[in-house]
Amino acid sequence: MLSFIVKRIGSLIPVCLGVLLIVVGMIHFVPGDPVDIILGDYATLEDKNALRHELGLDQSVIKQTVAYIGHAAKGDLGHSLIYQKSVNVLIMERLPATMRLAIASLIVALLISVPLGIIASISAGSKLDFAAMSFAVSGVAIPTFWLGPLLILLFSVELGWLPVSEMGSWKSYILPALTMGTPLAAALSRITRNSMLDTLKEDFVRTARAKGCSESRVILSHTFRNASLPLVTVIGLQFGVLMTGAIITEKVFDWPGLGSLLVEGINTRDYPVVQGCVLFFSGSYLLVNLLTDIAYSLVDPRIRLST
């Protein structure tokens, strides 16, 4: 187990490096200059050149990239050009808001998808099954940038039940969590249903029924536990997607998280912020995948990770 974890952590380094090189190349070739944003339109050419030299932006892209990688290897993600703060500090300030939103969205998705998938599997072929899978198809097809404003118009503007934007009381989590959790719930419900249908055909399920176990115990204790491995896989992968997918939702709901910070960095050409956020997102995604692999052996003791 320990050697497996060490190997997987080592494999994160080249992947993160590749992501970083792609992001650095893309953002430096996007039109716009952070110096113009910092100094404004009325600054002289001498002032702009002096600031560009002070920030190291007059160096070649290759030199800037090599210098950034050297600092990143030491855990230093640079200094924001706009906020005049360490990118590490900015990420740590915004991370809790994004994590809370991602966890809330995952809880919403599980509360919807698991019961829906179980009910659809035990009533396969019925109208209930058709309705559940219709929700799954429509949920996957609905984009978050459309669903979010729609929920705001309905529950905030028309009904006045929930706040429109910003992070505050527990009510402020409902709309963004629904926006992010609904598409995920649709996908998870299909996976739960299909996995349950396959597991219900297994011999140990028939044996449990033959021994006189109640139907609820057969479904929950025997069938669902063994059918949950594909669900654990997708949940692990989708949690990383929730972290990165929060970019659009956070912008719609004015949520003070990493997604909003990344968008602000792109708009202001704040290279260190964009590079730091993307590097953090990619590292988080890969780390979640590692934790998912470890969770396999906890869900099903028959599975042992290769060393």
The CATH number covering residue 125 comes to 1.10.3720.10
Indicate yes or no: pTM above 0.85. no
Q: Which residues of the chain have pLDDT under 70?
A: 1-2, 4-5, 8, 41, 165-167, 244-245, 295-307
pLDDT, residue 99, reads 87
**How many angstroms separate the CA atoms of 90 and 79, rounded?**
10
Question: Which pLDDT value is given to residue 46?
Answer: 80
Tokens 């349950």 map to which residue?
196
Q: How far apart are CA 9 and CA 4, in angstroms?
A: 9
Domain around 251 = 1-307
Model pLDDT, residue 26: 73
Q: What is the pLDDT of residue 302?
A: 58
User: How far does Cα 110 stand from its chain's mean position?
Assistant: 15
- In degrees and rounded to multiples of 5, residue 243 shows phi and psi of -60, -45
β-bridge mates for residue 86, sequence order: 79
What six digits make up the tokens of 7?
């190997």
| pLDDT value, residue 9 | 73
* 21-58: b (≥16 Cβ within 10 Å) or e: eebbeebeeeeeebbeebbeeeeeeeebeebbeebebe
The pLDDT, as a whole number, for residue 299 is: 60
Enumerate residues 6+ apart whose C-beta is below 8 A from 219: 118, 122
Q: For residue 291, give every residue at least 6 positions away whose Cβ sits within 8 Å of its Cβ, in sequence order, or none.
A: 236
Q: Number of structural domains, the chain?
A: 1
Burial of 306 (0-12, 13-18, 19+ CB in 10 A): exposed
